[in-house]
Amino acid sequence: MERGSMLYMIAPPMPFYVIGGVNKYNPGDEHPDRYAIGVFDMLLVMKGELRITEERRSWRVGPGQMLILRPDLHHYSAGPCEEETHHYWLHFMPAGEWWEIPDDQRPPEKDMLVQLQSARTKFPLHRVYSIAVPKYGMIPSPGKTFDALNHLIQSELEPPSLVLWKHQSILDELIRDLHRDQKSVNDTQAVRLAEQAEAFLKQNYKQPITNAMLGEALNFHPNYIARSMRNVLGFTPVEYLMQYRLEQAKLLLMKTELSIMKIAEEVGFQQTAYFSRCFSTKEGISPLQFRKKFKKNG
């Protein structure tokens, strides 16, 4: 399975509906070969399985799953259907900028979104958001979604002036559900990742640790780890590591007779002077003064 990625689209305005339909493939049938069709193509499978390749990335899209193909890339069949397959397809397009970004990398910054969309619309926008939807994944509430899509397809025969808002509202609700569902997944993943990072830092605080090492150990981009820790724990990895090392140093100052130089070494500082400076900044007194104060009070 391909590495996960997210599609980020600037709003307002919202992505707009172009056209939709439903396909039935018999065993041996294949999805058509298309290059840069100019719109996003969302495939939502009800039954069977679609095998799709976009450039050099391939997916198997089964019942209750969806895949969004990009408007600027070549997509084609990765193999014939092995069973009868039914799927809906929706063509849509964002009115603003959009990006595809791997799950473990940082999404666009808010300030950049405001600048880009303000320049595009010629209006001074202040409330600009990025809508994040998964490129591939499960369809949220598939029963409700398929009922809405069936209604959309049936209404294609009605006068365009009557169905314009109906079609757009169905797309809006689907995009909203995908965004909301992904946000819930991301929140859960962020908590889990923050806890894993915290455990790694606690286990290895005596050793030199860099953001790159942390990223390699957890198999996530360092920026994503830092953002997750900041959102969940209130600290970046660097801030958390510093605080944890200083807390361990305080325990050693209170419970042992080790020298300041040895304590600095024990908690991961390579230079005693730097350790003393960091300790004084946080506690307001030097490590030696802290020890004397504890001994006196004890």
Average pLDDT, the chain: 86
Question: Average pLDDT in the 56-73 region?
Answer: 94
pTM over 0.75: no
**Closest among 116, 118, 94, 98 to 107, alpha carbons compared:** 98
Checking if the pLDDT of 166 tops 80, the result is yes
Tell me which of 16-30, 93-107, 196-210 is least confident: 93-107
Confidence at residue 164, expressed as pLDDT on a 0 to 100 scale: 82
Confidence at residue 214, expressed as pLDDT on a 0 to 100 scale: 94
Confidence at residue 116, expressed as pLDDT on a 0 to 100 scale: 64
pLDDT > 90: percent of the chain: 50
Domains and CATH numbers, the chain: 5-186 (2.60.120.280), 239-297 (1.10.10.60)
Confidence at residue 30, expressed as pLDDT on a 0 to 100 scale: 94
Structure tokens at 82: 């092995």
Confidence at residue 125, expressed as pLDDT on a 0 to 100 scale: 54
**pLDDT tens for residues 2-57?**
557 889 888 777 899 999 999 999 999 999 999 999 999 999 999 999 999 999 89
pLDDT > 70: percent of the chain: 88
Q: Using pLDDT thresholds of 50, 70 and 90, give the confidence band for residue 296.
A: low
Confidence at residue 1, expressed as pLDDT on a 0 to 100 scale: 45
Tell me which of 82-86, 141-145, 187-191, 222-226 is least confident: 187-191
Confidence at residue 206, expressed as pLDDT on a 0 to 100 scale: 94
Confidence at residue 227, expressed as pLDDT on a 0 to 100 scale: 83
**pLDDT tens for residues 230-279?**
877 778 899 999 989 999 999 899 889 999 999 999 999 999 999 999 99
**pLDDT tens for residues 111-143?**
666 666 666 655 555 566 778 888 998 898 888
